[in-house]
Chain A
Amino acid sequence: MIKQVSIFVENKPGAMMEITEALSSAQVNIRAIAAFDTPEFGILRLVVDNPKKAKEDLTSKGFVVRIQEVIGVELQDEKGTLNHMLTCLSRANINMNYIYSFVIRQGRAPIMVFQADDEEKAKEVLTREGIKMIKEEEL
């Protein structure tokens, strides 16, 4: 499991920038980012190198921040690997709430981050299928 930082954002110009600016000045490195189009407010989801520091810093600046454990899997950069993973989860009837991928991993295989309604079962399925889940320290 890896730690994900979720931050409440209003849908208005500059809302995300305020967050990236805060993290930048706190010397926190962003490794993955996801936000979806929602009408008035949304949740910005990040994977960063120092989640604790990110939360402390953003909370002190008035943001609502949540740290959550989510699943990260390492997929080979080959055709069909994502499809294979999703097929396995789908067969086990696991619902995925969201999924996003890492920005850059300097030559290493891409990582997909997702949140499922039944995380334990999802992990079981992935282990059984030999899909590699990433630990926080492997990022």
Chain B
Amino acid sequence: MIWAKEETLSRSEMEALQLKKLKETASYIYDRVEPYRKKMDEAGVKPEDIQSLADLQKLPFTYKVDFRDNYPTGLFAVDKKELVRFHASSGTTGKPTMVGYTRKDMENWTENVARVVCMGGASDQDVAQISFGYGTFTGALGLHGGLEKVGAAVIPMSSGNAKKQMMFMEDLGVTLLVATPSYALHLGEELKARGLDPSKDLSLRIGLFGGEGMTEAMRDEMHKLWGEDFFCTQNYGMSELCGPGVAGECEALTGMHFNEDWFIPEIIDPVTEEVLPPGERGELVITCLGKEAIPLVRYRTGDLTRLMYEPCSCGRTTVRMENITGRADDMLVIRGVNVFPTQIEEVLFSIPEIGPHYEILVERINHLDAMTISVELVDDTLLDSYSKLSELGDRIKTGLKEQLGLATKIKLVAPQSLKRFEGKAKRVTDLRKDGV
């Protein structure tokens, strides 16, 4: 089912709508948000210079670091009294990326998520178990609102506790699962280990996955675990843009449709920053249209993909993007959480007993991401007792947990034993292959 008529507009109708909203957005950010006005003045561009969609290229980029530099609410365009919600995700360093929503923003967000869950096959017939972690992350509450809007019965389950997940699935006849694809695979194995055959014993028919990319290998594995008829789609979003609801796969499984009347995607060469012609692969840049609390223009997502403007067999006319194939920066996605090596560095550098060099190893064990950080011990006084050494390990883990919200494994190694780099350091080894 196609949720909104905007998903089937002709290209010219869509472009006319986008241009109208883009002009409003350009004036809105210039009038209301100081950092945007400054950037636009520096670039010598005024709101009235935006006369066509191609003029979008005149507007300056916005970067993740702008959120940190303007923390907490420097990029906000409205007073706190207009806000009805805050969300936050991990930033590049200690400060989270803080976002807010007006009542209108909440309605629009929910509408966009409703479209995406419909693309994935959800309807008012569904009992939806949301196994994303709740909290300040946008994933759980975003899907929650969109699924309620289409009339599904939502179970705000959160992640973890496989036994309870299984009980709710069985007892309430859950038909739809929201999770990160890796957590869904992990959960599938846990259920099998408990003697349950998801394809026979459960009513599950739909998986809506996000928070991290789902490869085709993961989709195949999903079918092995949850049954051939389990229909799996992924959707795309990030808290800066609103959360989930930016784009999603339809039944054709040929890319994720953008909600183009709310988000204009561009593909640029991440090095030259030139906009690339349709169909070329590069960094995804997104401009939000009509966002009130925290407008966002030409946001550098860091995700690498390509756009497809060809019509889709599902009937939607909106542009699609291919699976994300990588990152333009060094961001890692661990259990659906964005992790920047700079965040880890900040914690490690604050601990005097260890040296400045470190290595990050990311693996997938039983379908779950595991991160091991090796650090060099430099302080000999810790050798007085083993408890001092293990206390150091615990202290690093606690610091990282506070910073990242993730559990990590710490490996203390001898000084000088980690690799030294003359040029750009390659500190991250990611052993996750195809995500399975």
- Taking Cβ atoms with an 8 Å cutoff, the residues of A that contact B are 6-10, 36, 38, 40-43, 62-66, 68, 97, 115
**A–B pairs, 11, beta carbons within 8 Å:** A8-B414, A10-B412, A10-B417, A40-B412, A41-B413, A42-B386, A63-B415, A64-B377, A64-B378, A68-B383, A97-B385
Q: Is B384 close to A, CB under 8 A?
A: yes
How many residue pairs link A and B with beta carbons under 8 A? The number is 53
Task: Choose from B383, B384, B385 the contact partner of A64 (Cβ within 8 Å).
Answer: B383
If the complex has contacts A38-B386, A43-B389, are A63 and B414 also in contact, measured as CB distance less than 8 A? Answer: yes
Q: Is B42 close to A, CB under 8 A?
A: no
Chain B residues, CB < 8 A from A64? 377-380, 383, 414-415
A65 to B416, CA, bound (A): 14
B377 and A8 contact, CB distance less than 8 A? yes
Chain B residues, CB < 8 A from A65? 380, 383
Chain B residues, CB < 8 A from A8? 377, 380, 382-383, 389, 412, 414
A85 to B411, CA, bound (A): 38
B357-380 toward A: CB 8 Å interface, digit per residue (1/0)? 000000000000000000001111
From residue B122, how far is it (CB to closest CB) to chain A in Å? 45
B412 and A43 contact, CB distance less than 8 A? no
A43 and B415 contact, CB distance less than 8 A? no
If the complex has contacts A8-B377, A41-B389, A43-B389, are A66 and B414 also in contact, measured as CB distance less than 8 A? Answer: no
Q: Is B381 close to A, CB under 8 A?
A: yes
A43 to B383, CA, bound (A): 7
A62 and B383 contact, CB distance less than 8 A? no
Question: With A63-B414, A64-B379 given, can you name 14 additional A-B contacts, CB distance below 8 Å?
Answer: A6-B380, A6-B383, A6-B384, A8-B389, A10-B413, A36-B386, A38-B386, A40-B412, A41-B389, A41-B411, A43-B383, A62-B415, A64-B383, A115-B385
Task: Choose from B383, B411, B416 the contact partner of A7 (Cβ within 8 Å).
Answer: B383
- Taking Cβ atoms with an 8 Å cutoff, the residues of B that contact A are 377-386, 389, 411-417
A96 to B379, CA, bound (A): 24
Chain A, Cβ-Cβ closest to B411: A40
Chain A, Cβ-Cβ closest to B410: A40
Chain B residues, CB < 8 A from A97? 385
From residue A114, how far is it (CB to closest CB) to chain B in Å? 12
Chain A residues, CB < 8 A from B383? 6-8, 43, 64-66, 68
Which residue, B378, B414, B416, B417, has most C-beta atoms of chain A within 10 A? B414
Q: Which 9 A-B pairs have the closest CB atoms?
A: A62-B416, A6-B383, A66-B383, A66-B380, A41-B412, A64-B380, A64-B377, A43-B383, A62-B415
Chain A residues, CB < 8 A from B411? 10, 40-41
B377 and A66 contact, CB distance less than 8 A? no
From residue A61, how far is it (CB to closest CB) to chain B in Å? 9
A36 to B390, CA, bound (A): 14
From residue B154, how far is it (CB to closest CB) to chain A in Å? 42
Chain A, Cβ-Cβ closest to B416: A62
A97 to B414, CA, bound (A): 23
A64 to B392, CA, bound (A): 15
From residue A90, how far is it (CB to closest CB) to chain B in Å? 20
A42 to B378, CA, bound (A): 14
From residue A57, how far is it (CB to closest CB) to chain B in Å? 15
Chain B, Cβ-Cβ closest to A42: B386
If the complex has contacts A8-B377, A40-B411, are A62 and B386 also in contact, measured as CB distance less than 8 A? Answer: no
Chain A, Cβ-Cβ closest to B378: A64
From residue B118, how far is it (CB to closest CB) to chain A in Å? 49
A62 and B381 contact, CB distance less than 8 A? no
Chain A, Cβ-Cβ closest to B353: A64
From residue A129, how far is it (CB to closest CB) to chain B in Å? 25
From residue B358, how far is it (CB to closest CB) to chain A in Å? 15
Task: Choose from A9, A38, A68 the contact partner of B384 (Cβ within 8 Å).
Answer: A68
A41 to B396, CA, bound (A): 15
Chain A residues, CB < 8 A from B381? 66
Chain A residues, CB < 8 A from B415? 62-64
B414 and A10 contact, CB distance less than 8 A? yes
If the complex has contacts A8-B414, A40-B412, are A66 and B378 also in contact, measured as CB distance less than 8 A? Answer: no
Task: Choose from A42, A62, A68 the contact partner of B417 (Cβ within 8 Å).
Answer: A62
From residue A89, how far is it (CB to closest CB) to chain B in Å? 17
From residue B333, how far is it (CB to closest CB) to chain A in Å? 26
Chain B, Cβ-Cβ closest to A8: B377
From residue A30, how far is it (CB to closest CB) to chain B in Å? 17
Which residue, B379, B381, B383, B386, has most C-beta atoms of chain A within 10 A? B383
A42 to B379, CA, bound (A): 14
